[in-house]
Amino acid sequence: MWYHTFQMENDDLQRELHTHNRASWNAATLAHNSHRGDQARFFREGGSTLHPEEIDLLGEVKGRTLVHLLCNAGQDTLSIAAHLGAHVHGVDISDEAIAFARHLSQDAHIPATFERADVYDWFAQASSQHRQFDLVFSSYGVVHWLSDLTLWARGISAVLKPGGRLVLVDFHPLERIFDRDFQVVASYFPRERIDTLAQGVSDYLTRSPGKVTPFAYEPGVEHFENPHPAHLFRWTLGEVLTAIGGAGLRLKRLQEYPHSIAMRFRPMREIPGYRTMPLEGMPLVPLLYGLQAEKPEH
Ligand SMILES: C[S@@+](CC[C@H](N)C(=O)[O-])C[C@H]1O[C@@H](n2cnc3c(N)ncnc32)[C@H](O)[C@@H]1O
């Protein structure tokens, strides 16, 4: 079985890097949520954090089972349940994110289940228990936390029902050729797979307070410094698609978008749907991508 291979390949280094990432996300998640005001009220009043891209790619999911991988504090998971009608289960490595998501689900009266786990451990456990879902969903800042794309894609295939779909929306890896001023400064092809951020996951909501977010902004935690480093894993789009195809999933759609969802660069403007575009007249390049891939029936 594929998960035995995983257990042999998942060496101590990978575990250690994931442990740092867990600690870094625990600290950052507290800071992020400190800026978002009363989120339970936001959801009780009918709020949603979904963007047109994932709504389009998810399509009709009413009554379907959906696992949301790397779900952070569950805002998108709950939006999918409340607005699209799926039965949702969220998985994330961060203790703080999952504790927050569980409270939010209760306080917002939106049924959902959440599990704290390293996604690779979760795949191993879920597939050994023959758990399967109609959909696997993951979005916005997920692929660069994955230390092994082959095992990720195989894990997804194992937990999808035949005919089930993967929907992924993420920042386009081309983004990393630019600095914050949108100048080309780096190669698209990563020289090193592991990219360590000594300063850890940042409190990036403070970059553009109250912009590009459906939540009211609160000052919350100020001058956040993350004591835990974080480790990103750099992949190209070709490697992502190769892993998905290699796991036997059929690519149905691949979309590239010239806009993003946050002030990723300084010369950007807000556009409807809590999204951002480079300023007028700047050349357009893909900043996000989204895809649908299907597990064949036979
Ligand atoms: C940028 S967030 C995802 C954003 C999410 N779409 C949202 O709405 O907030 C990335 C998430 O990946 C999680 N993560 C990182 N490595 C992981 C791993 N090995 N297993 C499970 N979750 C992981 C982090 O805890 C974090 O919550």
Q: What are the pLDDT digits (tens) for 212-251?
A: 899 989 999 999 999 999 999 999 999 999 999 999 999 9
Our answer on whether the CB atom of 27 is closer than 6 Å to any ligand 1 atom is: no
Confidence (pLDDT) at 6: 42
Average the pLDDT over 103-112 and give the result: 98
pLDDT at 2 over 90: no
In the predicted structure, residue 117 carries a pLDDT above the cut 80: yes
Instruction: Give the per-residue pLDDT at 11.
Output: 79
Could you tell me the distance, in angstroms and rounded to a whole number, from the CA of residue 118 to the centre of ligand 1? 10
Per-residue pLDDT at 7 exceeds 80 = no
| CB within 8 Å of 202: residues ≥ 6 apart | 28, 224, 226
Q: Ligand 1, closest atom to CA 22?
A: 25
Say yes or no: CB of residue 147 within 6 Å of ligand 1: no
Check residue 174 and give its pLDDT: 98
pLDDT, tens digit (0-9, with 9 covering 90-100), for 13-25: 999 999 999 999 9
Separation between Cα atoms, residue 109 and residue 104, nearest integer Å? 8
Give me the chain's average pLDDT, please: 95
Which pTM does this prediction carry? Answer: 0.96
Average pLDDT for 93-97: 98
User: 10: pLDDT confidence band, cut at 50, 70 and 90?
Assistant: low
* Res 21: pLDDT: 98
pLDDT at 181: 96
- Which residue's CA is the nearest one to ligand 1's atom 26? 72
Cβ atoms of 167 and 137 closer than 8 Å: yes
Torsion of CA 181, 184, 189, 194, to 10 degrees: -30
- Span from the CA of 144 to the centroid of ligand 1 (angstroms): 10
Residue 140 Cβ contacting ligand 1 at under 6 Å: yes
pLDDT tens digits, one per residue of 40-75: 999 999 999 999 999 999 999 999 999 999 999 999
The answer to whether residues 276 and 259 touch, using CB atoms and an 8 Å cutoff, is yes
Under 8 Å between Cβ of 200 and 226: yes
Residue with the nearest Cα to atom 13 of ligand 1? 70
The residue whose C-alpha atom lies closest to atom 8 belonging to ligand 1 is 76
Residue 210 banded pLDDT, cuts 50, 70, 90? confident
Residue nearest to atom 23 of ligand 1 (CA): 93
**Which of 67, 91, 93, when mutated, tests ligand 1's pocket best, judged by the most ligand atoms within 8 Å of its CB?**
93
**Distance in Å, CA 8 to ligand 1 centroid:** 24
